[in-house]
Amino acid sequence: MKNVFKKETVSTYLKADARLTKSLRARDLLALGIGAVIGTGIFILPGHEAALHAGPAVAIAFLLAAIVSGIVGMAYAEFSSAMPVAGSAYSFGSVVYGEIIGWILGWSLILEYFLAVSAEATGFAAYFNNNILESFGLNLPKALQAGPLEGGVINLSAVLIVLVVALIILHGASLSKKVENVAVVIKVAIIIIFIAVGAFYIKTSNYVPFYPQQFQTSPLGLGGISTAAATVFFAFIGFDALAANSAETINPEKNVVKGILGTVGVSVVLYVAFSFVLTGIVHYSKLNVDDPAAYALQVIHLNTWNKLITIGALIGIFTSLITMFFGGSRLVYALGRDGLLPAKMGVVSTKHVVPKNAILVATIVQAFFAGLVPLTELASLINAGTLLAFAFISFGVIPLRKRHDIQNKGFKMPLYPVLPCIAGSLSVYFIIMLPNITKISVGLWLVLGLVVYFGYGLRHSKLQNK
């Protein structure tokens, strides 16, 4: 009789992941984290969420999301310190909760990572098509600018950028981190310039009302802000990708926590300031566009700055693509490593020491969604998987501390057990605040995941067949 709650050992994962090259330092993880978080989330979502859910109070929504993410990030940091293995929440869940919970988290995170890459790619395409190609007098046919749900055939630019990133990822972590480290400095500098220049064009009348009446729904009138915060959580999944790279990190006990907490700290400052300036320049009701920062600069006739922010957006989204692609492919590798997906997914190539087959599968799926599904639909689906992982990992600190077979000489979450419970409870609350269609869609995805697990994974699981 097979036990679906059978728990994996850390030593098994450490032995399997020894094939991966340790080359990432704290500064590399910080660059990867900021590279992921400062992407579509900052260049596109503040506009959408201000227009649809929160008005200028979208800055508060980002602050709430960042605070919760920072607390959850501490839980991830403790797990990464105790278990420096590939797979992030999937591997952590398999050790502390048992295989089926680990699988559910892994299946949720596959949706999260793959759709995050696809969403970033469509965001990249929006800025590239609307601000770069048009400046040269080039216009792609409508059929090549959007998928069928938006009246086109395929979003060609989105598909092509996924393929470019795939080529970089296939050459290993060393090339990825070199590209990331340089690009992150450039895009952060450009965001700071937008904030500094845009501050001189703020109209205080655009902040009135700061939190419009129509968005003040239950509970306690905070429904709009809560929904906006829940919707932007995918912007903060960068630290999950950092945890996924623990197996390839030098001295993970110290470096992963520096990368995670540093990422959250830098991101909260930039997100809140960016959102505040953006809604001060342009009335929130006009910001439901896919390139709000560039649009805002057009409104105040700063066309030169418009081109600069477009370059920053493209670089920002590009680096975010690298990190999300990196994390997703490592997750597929981990599931293949353990037999829950076909074993070929867990094969590491000898030339570049990367899980080549996992990367190729990720490329096909991500390019498909990027080419055919609109950004807003993608973004709404991502967050439920993110928050589900947040909840399990936060609460998981409690059973982790009780495991005498797992030694952790590195970072530990403060205010135990109160803070883990607060982080987990807040994650559950934000799941509840997601739109109903999102919860239904993700529920169907999880049902499909259970079918795959009982139909394939349970029979081929290396843990079950020991």
Per residue in 126-139, pLDDT (tens digit) is 888 877 777 777 77
Residue 24 phi, psi (nearest 5): -95, 130
Query: Rounded to an integer, what distance in angstroms lies between the CA atom of residue 64 and that of residue 271?
Result: 11
Residue 236 has pLDDT above 90, yes or no: no
Q: How confident is residue 259, by pLDDT bands cut at 50, 70 and 90?
A: confident
Give percent of the chain above pLDDT 90.
23
Do 83 and 337 contact (CB within 8 A), yes or no?
no
pLDDT of res. 205:
95
Query: Rounded to an integer, what distance in angstroms lies between the CA atom of residue 309 and that of residue 313?
Result: 6
Q: How confident is residue 234, by pLDDT bands cut at 50, 70 and 90?
A: low
pLDDT of res. 1:
67
Residue 268 has pLDDT above 70, yes or no: yes
pLDDT of res. 176:
58
Task: Give me the torsion for CA of 187, 189, 195, 198, rounded to 10°.
Answer: -90
- What does the longest C-alpha to C-alpha distance in the chain come to? 70
Write the pLDDT tens digit of every residue in 345-400: 888 777 767 788 888 988 999 999 888 877 666 766 777 878 888 899 999 999 99
| Mean pLDDT calculated for residue range 81-90 | 83
Which pTM value belongs to this model?
A: 0.83
